[in-house]
Chains A and B, each alone.
Chain A
């Protein structure tokens, strides 16, 4: 058997109390096999059920006992049939004994591989641990566990137990459960085993690693506290995003008769001169150019190598600091873990001492790391203690990369306290929010933490592999909707919402949210936003739009009042901070004039309106907006004629008000002749 192949035996509890959970168990088991089919298709898997009506395993034939344990599938290389099998696990009828199942699974592994294939043999038990364990023929249950654990260790097997507890267990079951939990917790102490307790079907899906990735150190060497004190450490990745698989491009060019067609597409890159598209530049003739202002400076690889920054491989301590000096949002990338060199007992103690002291003192360490020789950069990061709560797992450190000065962009935002009161919550609202935050709690005291990252599967990947399986059978199938269990990750839990309805309702009652009618020109908004040089002002502009002139803009004239309309208009027209003011001033002036005429009684407002009109005319010439005025005058006369206000037109004519002509403003399309004759023409024939 090849080195990287894994042998896995699934031990599944199918007893009556497990029936409602089996759909999820089916999902996670088939997912494991599906991923193996993609990433490690030579792995071998066997399936053992317990709690079944029947009994079917080699041990029962050889030595008797081991009732209600069925080997559903002997260990074999993964294939499509296995996925099918795991999608329809037969339901059992009796409470199952998981210890029996472990022994049967172990026996299968031993018989198949004897002592080869070390470390790559895995047993995976899924149960709710609510069915009693039979007393052994001899000795105590502990002895039995010890014996099993010893066997497993000697054969290099690993055991993972996933125990599902959906709700609080009551009654006589409690003693059984406690007994079982004790036994299950014995394994990790005696062998290479891990027991995980999960409470929801969603975390059941995330409880097992569905893909095996062999861990690789990114650094082995000294953690240098000072030149005099070096601790041997190994550095691994702690988190690393599992990416959406990169699919190959499909070529349909091969004839359908060609059974061995790869259907792959090769992508070829050619480098051509920008000026001469026919001139192909060989790849080795390319040279990198970096921008320096408008120019591009070519730097060859050799030149660059000669001068570039070349730090020595090392991991050095810069110092310790209060953990409060590091913000959580400064963590830049995926996380590494520092573990003491497992062969160096002193290093393990040294790491343990530092980690424990750091935790006690709320300190973190700042490191400078160059993982490999020849690496062209350094990273500065923060080391935080990870004190192990398991006797068998050594203390370690997590390492997060911190930003450099260049990586932090200094954007300024308005202080919340400086915002107008209309944007701030009042006391009652704050109370409602407090209550909401308290009630919508994902860590209720009687349950385990919900949506813990460690047990939350990636809904997109789950969906992809399910769809892959579906498509392999029905090539034209559409993308199915998201699984109900996975929806618990992407949407709030309806159960939780229902429970905390009062807190939610109260929040909604206290706050009003109103969608604003879409602003007319969304493109203009887009452009305006980033251009704001002063962020404070920028924010103001937005909010002054929404909050309808709540904030005074530095005592500058913003609208045309009734007292000194002409002066207001001129002040607005001359504002330079935003070209919009001109338009605004003109529009407001027009409205003012309109209102005056409309409201006038026997021409008492005419003189005032004329003043404004003269000012508007002057302003429009100055700002090169003749059309605005001309259109308005046309409109105004039409309005007057229709509304029995002919006297105003006559009044204007006597005062010599004309359209703005081309000679006055180049943009006008009115000739001088037309301009002068306008009002005369509109005057009706004398009766």
Chain B
């Protein structure tokens, strides 16, 4: 894991950052002063004639962002917020900078702030909804770290978490470790997925005909209904006939209900593989028993699912 230190034998080290600037200005971005400029300090910016590099934060970021913001039209607003003399950033927290940015800066709409989206219509509401059904919840209780926001406010929001929300991937512990620390040691388990970890229970869900599969945490749901609606949202884009070249839904708004129709109709059924390796229909056993025994799920075509239902009931009886 250790990385050898760079040895600059003849001044030709591989990726020395201080070299970047001069290389860049000779080669590439030779844009006019008013155009968008991206590059290290010293690479042609009018404010930095003498090319002082990164240590000096005083003027450099100001220069870069000013030229950036010429494009977005919020230059005046931004420089008002910055104490140009001392070069210090004056990000007060909420009020000042947000208001300035709101003026016309459409590149930087902080999450959850309405109305500053480009094009306006629908921008606010779409941006504000940061909690897609399953996919990637940020914090389940709806708190999303905002850009400028006073520290106090943030703290008070977070000091009152009622139920402990499960945040994806936090604390950062590898799946192998989570699964190994299971309260139930594996009996004859081959699949290290979806073991009964004390906090999450990831199982893979595949769907016949879908280009890729998903993982869901069964602990996020309390009932079959919740699970089924989450799966509908996740896989709605795969319903046959609705997919584009990448399997994403066309925007006709019908895709979500389509899967529900398909599931409740006869085209697809939801099945799962249990700890014994048998495939069963989802829904036949009590929810808790299901989460305990489910190793993975498959949304399969009804034609292939014939004969599953009776076995589920038999197994349930033989267990008790």
Chains A and B form a bound pair? no
